[in-house]
Amino acid sequence: NNPKQLWKSVNLIRGKGSKTTNVSSLKIDEETITGDKNIAEAFNSFFVSVGPSLSQSLPESQKSYSDYVQHPTLNTFSFSEVSENDTLKLLCGLKESKAAGPDKINTKLVKDSAEVICPTLTKIFNRSLQQGIFPEELKTAFVSPIYKNGDKSDCSNYRPISILSTIAKILEKTVYNQLISYINENNILSGNQFGFRKSHSTVTSLLNATSNWLLNIDKGLINGVLFLDLRKAFDTVDHIILIEKLKLYGITGGALKWFISYLEKRYQTCKMNNVKSSRKLIKCGVPQGSNLGPLLFLLYVNDLPNCLDQAKPSMFADDTNISVSAESVDELEEKLNTDLSNIYQWLVENKLTLNVSKTEYMIIGSRNNLSKINVDPTIKIGGDSINRVKTTKSLGVVIDDKLRWEDHIDSISKKVSSGIGAIKLIKPYVPKDCLNQIYNALVQPYFDYCSL
């Protein structure tokens, strides 16, 4: 009768701990940080400084970021009046399980009082859009460090997730709905972008890429595929560049003023081990966990395909690969290095940083064509060599250089075995309907994902 306790037991059996891992110490510049308050302060300082630090380490740019932005429309975006019905729909659609933000207003309370607060909230939202001001009280976020992998004492191995005010998220969703309609009507987003878009997904992104690779293999060609890894992409978005790009996409006047207000003077407090840090100013980046953050990021990187001469990109937000086809290794090397040079220049202009150690390239082709490659081509970006791999994981799928999918099947088999093992252990203690829930959560998704 206690779902939380059930899943806690299942995760314990599987050796899966909570994502919000408690941290006992951090290492920063050879110094060991201990104590909950000090750890929370260290995380907060790291998260707000990572963007400016990476930006300062970049070389001087030779071009302007605006050179890459194509002007897709002569239309301009302006806000429409928000109706009470619009606000009520968003209030009634709230997920009650979401945590309360810095204002400590419970999501369930907001949802239960929807009809009462709807008229007042609608007036506040309309006033905000008319005056071009995002309320200061809604600009503070709690940030929770979510462990990814690697050394747990290294701040860079954590992802900051923003916990925002419920009211702020509703206002953001109101703006999002109007902005995405304008973007879709004017075909602003690149056709190579599959992230955070209606009728697009990781599946369509992978289908697009693998279909092109297979078509080239059928033509007797080899594919050179570069899997890019951007360092702290969402956290390093430059606000000035983002605002200028919004202008180029037709977002001007009062609407632009609102987005400037939304981005400036934002603060965050890090919450770790149930202890809060002091409040710090955010100088760059878009908040992860917000409704507008992902869409603003898509607009920020939307012009990346325009820097390429020969490669074809496939993008899912910040997860990007570029592909070229060639008849020989020498031709492939030349094409990849040419566009890698273009990408490097684009990254510098946009104050984004490539994580070279996690960026990889793969040569995909038939067994016969791959057997003819005796020496790995030299692929470099900014003077750093990129490693060649024969398998890699992209958007949850293990890709191999012959597209045989054996490694992916092995990966799925291990995960399914783990889920079945947990079911076997817990089977004597729970009813059948609970076992079905566990199976549908731990086993079935691995069969369904990217299964066509």
At residue 62, the pLDDT reads 74
State the Cα–Cα distance between residues 368 and 371, nearest whole angstrom: 5
At residue 19, the pLDDT reads 52
Confidence of residue 3 (pLDDT cuts 50, 70, 90): low
CATH T-level assignment (fold) for domain 202-233+301-406 = Alpha-Beta Plaits (3.30.70)
* Domain residue extents for the chain: 3-17+407-448, 202-233+301-406
CB 446 within 8 A of CB 420: no
At residue 15, the pLDDT reads 65
At residue 382, the pLDDT reads 85
State the Cα–Cα distance between residues 405 and 401, nearest whole angstrom: 9
Q: What one-letter code names the amino acid at 66?
A: S
Residues 73-94 have pLDDT tens digits of 778 999 999 999 999 999 999 9
Positive or negative, the CA dihedral 299, 397, 346, 154 is positive
Of 141-150, 259-268, 342-351, the poorest mean pLDDT is in 141-150
Residue whose C-alpha is closest to residue 362's, from 388, 328, 381 = 388
State the Cα–Cα distance between residues 371 and 67, nearest whole angstrom: 42
Q: Is the pLDDT of residue 411 over 60?
A: yes
State pTM to two decimals.
Answer: 0.91
Token look-up 């309309």 returns 126
Q: Is the pLDDT of residue 5 over 90?
A: no
Residues 200-257 have pLDDT tens digits of 999 999 999 999 999 999 999 999 999 999 988 998 999 999 999 999 999 999 999 9
| More confident: 288 or 297 | 297
Would you put residue 196 in left (φ > 0), alpha (ψ -120 to 50) or beta?
A: left
Residues 174-191 have pLDDT tens digits of 999 999 999 999 999 999
Q: Is the pLDDT of residue 263 over 90?
A: yes
If you average pLDDT over every residue of the chain, what do you get? 91
